[in-house]
Amino acid sequence: MNPRSQQFTMPAEWTTHERTFISWPIQASMCYPEQYKEVCSAYAEIIIAMAEFEPVTVVVNAADQEAVRAYVEGEHAHPIDLLVIEHNDAWLRDNGPTFVTSPDGKLAGVNWGFNAWGGKYSPWDLDDAVAPQIIQHVGAIQFDAPLVMEGGSIHTDGEGTLLTTEECLLNKNRNPELSREQIFELLKQYVNIDTVIWLERGLSGDETDGHVDNIACFAAPGKVILQVCHDENDDNFAITQRNLQILSEAVDAKGRKLEVIEIEQPPAVYYEGERLTLSYLNFYFVNGGIILPVFGGTAEETDKKAIEVLAALYPDRRIRTINGMGVIREGGNVHCTTQQLPLAVV
């Protein structure tokens, strides 16, 4: 039994949410543990921003409950709840469940295998056990997928088409025994899609091995937003131009040619000699809004352009910006931290 056989499908992220889940950071697993307080403040900023639009559940380790309450206390338009689940790291997009819904209003969660982005960070045993606990908490049906995969590596239009990258899903550090065709078949079964659009690579230096949520996402059925680079001397130039070519030639599951909306990447920023994977595409849809990371400084002009592009695309959504530099040194941004619980309705 799998989601497709039971008529479950993964809704598009822009559909109505019941709430958002987000995990609280763990100092011991951070790349820069001395910046823990700064990162916690940045997470609190994201959580409070999301609570302007919809309820938020923060997954916390038991020892952190009081501290987290202090960070997010106050009056909010929507409730902020804490859920005690022990975890190793904070990127819930990647180790959390992928929720799927059925036409008759049932809710289920897909429990993917998780190995910390190809075994990069140990331990990850607690993180691999988070998804089933969230699924149980919301009372959903659980589907265990025989595939190691992170949620940030896929994006769907809700109508049968999925975006991903070869760099990540075909990486031998995830599922070395599976072929491209076998991975496609498992995606077909567990998120109920018919077409995969395979981009080649993600952003240069992305330690997730090219998660798609940093470079491209569906804006609507038949529309894709792509982060692009026009500087031929930048490592992302060839990557994004190739992805643009692939998308311009692609056809979705409904037979539509795709309209591609471009967002110019922010200028390169380096920290301790390593390029940070700055991306406007790591935004997150909330009910009636978009939580958008912006970067300031040398990125002021591209920040402004990204806001303008999204505001034109979504005139009925409020573009709520947050400080995109707050958590990026740890390797991700807003979308990476979040996992939506879709509203399952008949």
Q: Which helix (H) or strand (E) holds 238?
A: helix 235-249
160 residue type, one letter: G
Sequential DSSP letters for 286-318: ETTEEEEEE--GGGHHHHHHHHHHHHHH-TTSE
**Residue 229 annotated as catalytic:** no
Side-chain half-sphere CA neighbours of 226 within 13 A: 27
Q: Where are the alpha helices (DSSP H) in 76-233?
A: 92-95, 116-119, 125-128, 130-137, 166-169, 180-191
* Token pair in block for residue 109: 């969660």
Q: Are 291 and 284 in contact (CB under 8 A)?
A: yes
| CA nearest to 165, candidates 97, 216, 103, 204 | 216
Q: Which of 40, 217, 229, 336 is catalytic?
A: 336
Angle between the N-to-C axes of helices 36-50 and 65-72, in degrees from 0 to 180, rounded to the nearest 10: 60
Q: Are 227 and 240 in contact (CB under 8 A)?
A: yes
**Cis peptide bond prior to 132, omega within 30° of 0:** no
| CA nearest to 112, candidates 59, 187, 188 | 187
3-state secondary structure of 141: strand
| CA nearest to 212, candidates 263, 162, 265 | 162
Rounded to whole angstroms, what are the CA distances from 338 to 87, 164, 170, 297? Answer: 15, 18, 24, 26
> Which residues are identified as catalytic?
336
